[in-house]
């Protein structure tokens, strides 16, 4: 998928990632501690818009997963040609969650996900000074740490999104 096409659908992801890079620098998170920015999450306000954005992305990327998580669908698309933004050269996935009933999120890029070089507990210990939201650590398949400042949000996990989806699929067939 060409970068210009992605921008037409989800907006200026490059500017968002540059703001994430600034946030990481402000918090003292060393880029070498991160393997990859692997996922961009794009939120929508309505189920109709979820269907529309999913359809647009499915015409230009491979839908690799659409599964129910916490009572709503989340679609994950693998882009044919990895996106580049800032120092990150291989953003491979676009995630689109259906809106949660009773919650309002404005349409736009919600967060990016970064793959840590170390196991997540070791990464967390290394950056104990960072004000991570730890609620995502409870996830058995894809534990996450979240860092948020203003309108910028980044989630850290120690498994590549493709690995997480493969693991979810394997467990769902057992």
Q: Give the chain's mean pLDDT.
A: 92
Cα separation, 8 vs 11, in Å, equals: 6
pLDDT reading at 123 higher than 90: yes
| CATH class of segment(s) 3-172 | alpha beta
Query: How much is the pLDDT for 1?
Result: 57
8 A C-beta contact, residue 110 and residue 57: no
pLDDT reading at 22 higher than 80: yes
pLDDT reading at 60 higher than 70: yes
Q: What is the pLDDT of residues 78-117, one digit of tens each?
A: 999 899 998 898 999 999 999 988 778 899 999 999 999 9
Cα separation, 27 vs 5, in Å, equals: 32
DSSP per-residue string spanning 104-168: ---SEEEEEEEEESS-HHHHHHHTTTS--B-GGGG-SSS--EEEEETTEEEEEESS-HHHHHHHH
Does 31 or 168 have the greater pLDDT score? 31
Give me the mean pLDDT over the 125-135 stretch.
97
Domain boundaries, the chain: 3-172
Query: How much is the pLDDT for 15?
Result: 96
Number of residues that make up the chain: 174
pLDDT reading at 148 higher than 70: yes
Q: What is the pTM of this model?
A: 0.93
Query: How much is the pLDDT for 3?
Result: 63
């Amino acid at each position: 998928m060409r970068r210009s096409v992605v921008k037409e659908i989800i907006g200026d992801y490059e500017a968002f990632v540059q703001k994430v890079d600034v946030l990481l620098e402000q918090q003292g998170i060393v880029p070498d501690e991160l393997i990859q920015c692997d996922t961009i999450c794009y939120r929508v306000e309505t189920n109709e818009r979820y269907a529309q954005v999913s359809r647009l992305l499915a015409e230009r990327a491979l839908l690799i997963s659409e599964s129910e998580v916490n009572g709503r669908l989340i679609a994950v698309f693998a882009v044919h040609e990895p996106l580049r933004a800032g120092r990150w050269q291989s953003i491979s996935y676009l995630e689109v969650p259906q809106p949660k009933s009773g919650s309002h999120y404005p349409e736009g890029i919600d967060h990016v996900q970064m793959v840590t070089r170390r196991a997540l507990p070791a990464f967390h210990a290394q950056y104990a000074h960072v004000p991570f939201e730890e609620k995502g650590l409870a996830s058995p398949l894809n534990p996450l740490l979240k860092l948020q400042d203003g309108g910028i949000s980044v989630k850290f996990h120690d498994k590549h999104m493709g690995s997480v989806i493969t693991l979810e699929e394997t467990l769902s067939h057992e």
